[in-house]
Amino acid sequence: MRLQDSFGRAITDLRISVTDRCNYKCVYCRAGDEGASYTELPIADYLRIVRILVSLGIEKVRLTGGEPLLRTGLVEMVAELARMRTAFHADGSPLQAHEPGQPLDIALTTNGHLLESLAAPLAAAGLKRVTVSMDAVDPDTFARITRVPRSYERVLAGVHAAQEAGLGPIKINCVLLRGFNDHQIEPFADFSRRQGVIVRFIEFMPLEEPSAVEESRNWKPQTVVTMDEIMARLNTWRPSCNVPAGLVELPPRAASETAKRFTFADGVGEIGIIAPVSRPFCGHCSRIRITSDGALRTCLFSQSDHDLYGEMRRGATEQALAAYIRRVVMHKEARHHIGEPGFEKPSRNMVHIGG
Ligand code: SAM
C-alpha cells in the first residue's frame, strides 16, 4: 500500500537535505555563526533512503539544505535519482511488475550563489526544476539580508544560467519581513514580468535560529507580511501605463498546491503567495523530510525527529526500514500550531531541517 498517515493523507513528496552548511547567513534564518550543526551522510546512503521511499510511493524529490550546491557529488546524485521510477499509479494502486513507472519529479531549492556553473550539469543529469531563494531584487537590500557582498549579481547570473539550461520556468521564493524587505513586493512583481520567472512570496515562519544580538530578527506575529496584505498591495499596483492594476487569479494545478497563484491583466508574470501562517494548508500536506544526518521528520514543526539513519547503521534490511518509515509516518502531525497559545518552536531550525 502507498505510504499514508493516520489521517489518510498520501505521502508522495520528499524533501531531502544533503548538508546543513550554507554559504549565506540570511538574517532571518541564521544566527550568523559559521559551520554546520549536524553531520552529512554519504550520497549513497541518501540514495538508499530515497529508493526505499520511492518503493513506498514518493514521486517528487526536492534536494535542499543548508545550501545543496555546496555538496560534492550532487550532480551524480541527481543522475542516480533520474534513473529511479515511481512504484504506484496516480490513484494509489501499485504498479504491476510489467508496468513501467514514471521518472521522479526532481527539483532543487538553492540560494543560487553557485548555480551559474552548476545549472547546465544538473539539467544534463536530470534535474527538472529549480527554485531560487531571493529576498530582494535590489542589490543593497539583498546583500544586507544574505550578509555576502555582491550576492545579488551572482544569483541573477545563476537564474539566467538555469533558464538557459532549460530549468525554467524558474520559481523565485521570497520571504517577506515587515520593515525589512516588504518594500520589495512591487519590484518583485515587475521582476517576474521582466525576467519570465514565477515569484512566490512566503510568509515568515518561526523557524529561525534565535539571535540574541539582533533581537528584531526573531519571529513575531507582527513581522509576518500576510497573504491579504500582499494581495492588497499588488491589487493597486499598475504593471505599466497600458495595463490596468489588479491581480488575476490562476486556477490551482493540484489540490495539494501550497501557493495561491496570480497573474496580471495582460497575462504577463506569475505571482504565487504561500501563506502557512495566515492560511495553513496542513490538511493537504503530502510531505516528509530527511535531514542531512538522516533523520526522518514528519512536519517542519515536529518536536522531535526519527533516527532513520540509526536504524540503517544497526543493519536494518530494506523491509525493516520500510516498516519503520510506515510506523513513523502514521504519527505525522495533523497540523502546525503557529500563532496559537503555547506554541513551541520545533526541535530544529529551518537551515538544519531543509526548506
Ligand atoms: N539554501 C537553500 C535556499 O536558500 O533556498 C535551501 C535552504 S533554505 C533554508 C530554504 C528556504 O527556506 C529559503 O527560501 C528560505 O528563504 C526559507 N526560509 C528560511 N527560514 C524561513 C522562515 N523562518 N520562514 C519561511 N521561510 C524560511
| pLDDT for position 254 | 81
Please indicate, yes or no, if residue 286 is contained in any of the structural domains. yes
> How many Å lie between the centroid of ligand 1 and the Cα of residue 351?
7
Distance CA 152, CA 273 (A): 22
**Protein residue with its CA nearest to atom 11 in ligand 1:** 355
Confidence of residue 214 (pLDDT cuts 50, 70, 90): low
How many angstroms separate the alpha carbon of residue 26 from the centre of ligand 1? 9
Q: Has residue 133 been placed in a domain?
A: yes
For residue 264, the model assigns a pLDDT of: 98
Give the model's pLDDT for residue 300: 94
Residue identifier of the C-alpha nearest atom 8 of ligand 1 = 355
Atom number of ligand 1 nearest to Cα 131: 5
Residue 283 lies in a domain: yes
The structural domain count of the chain equals: 1
- Which mutation among 19, 25, 29 tests ligand 1's pocket best, with the greatest number of atoms within 8 A of CB? 29
pLDDT in tens, 72-89: 999 999 999 999 999 999
Among the atoms of ligand 1, which is closest to the Cα of residue 208?
Answer: 23
- Would residue 4 count as lying in a domain? no
**Residue 207 CA: which ligand 1 atom is closest?**
23
Q: Output the pLDDT for position 299.
A: 96
Buried b (16+ CB within 10 A) or exposed e, 191-207: bbbebebbbbbbbbbbb
Residue 252 resides in a domain: yes
Ligand 1 mean position, distance from CA 133 (Å): 7
- What percent of the chain is predicted at pLDDT more than 70? 98
Q: How many A from CA of 313 to the centre of ligand 1?
A: 30
For residue 215, name the pLDDT band (cuts at 50, 70, 90): low
Q: Which mutation among 151, 173, 287 tests ligand 1's pocket best, with the greatest number of atoms within 8 A of CB? A: 173
Is the per-residue pLDDT at 211 higher than 80?
no
Q: Residues lining ligand 1, judged by CB closer than 6 Å?
A: 22, 28-29, 64-65, 67, 109-111, 133, 173, 175, 202, 204-205, 207-208, 350-351, 355
pLDDT over 80 (residue 217): no
- Ligand 1 atom 1: residue of nearest CA: 67
Residue 223 and residue 202: Cα distance in Å, rounded? 12
Ligand 1 centroid to residue 265 C-alpha, Å: 30
Q: Does residue 216 surpass a pLDDT of 90?
A: no
Task: Give residue 213's pLDDT band: very low, low, confident or very high (50, 70, 90).
Answer: low
Asked whether residue 8 is domain-assigned, the answer is no
Nearest CA to ligand 1 atom 2: 110
- Residue 245 cell numbers, joined: 492594476
Cell digits of residue 284: 493537504
The residue among 225, 327, 231 whose CA lies nearest residue 272 is: 231
CA of 350 to the centre of ligand 1 (A): 7
Q: Residue 275 falls within a domain, yes or no?
A: yes
CATH no. for residue 75? Answer: 3.20.20.70
Question: How high is the pLDDT of residue 257?
Answer: 82
Which tens digits make up the pLDDT trace of 99-139? 999 999 999 999 999 999 999 999 999 999 999 999 999 99
Domain of 86?
13-353
pLDDT at residue number 218:
84
Average pLDDT of the residues of the chain: 95
For residue range 35-60, list pLDDT tens digits in order.
Answer: 788 999 999 999 999 999 999 999 99
| Cα of 57 from ligand 1 centre, angstroms | 26
- Overall average pLDDT of the 277-287 stretch: 93
Long-range contacts of 245-252 (CB under 8 A, 24+ apart): 247/271
pLDDT confidence of 253, banded at 50, 70, 90?
confident
Instruction: For 140-183, write each residue's pLDDT tens digit.
Output: 999 999 999 999 999 999 999 999 999 989 999 999 999 999 99
Angle between helices 43-56 and 74-83 (to 10 degrees): 30
Predicted confidence at residue 289, as pLDDT, reads 98
Question: Partners of 290 in the beta sheet?
Answer: 16, 296
Q: How far is the CA of 330 from the centre of ligand 1 (A)?
A: 27
Q: For 181-186, which contacts have Cβ atoms below 8 Å and span 24 or more sequence positions? A: 181/135, 181/136, 181/141, 181/145, 182/225, 183/141, 184/135, 184/136, 184/137, 184/138, 184/141, 185/225, 185/230, 185/233, 185/234, 185/237, 186/233, 186/234, 186/237
Decide if 308 contacts 326 (C-beta within 8 A): no
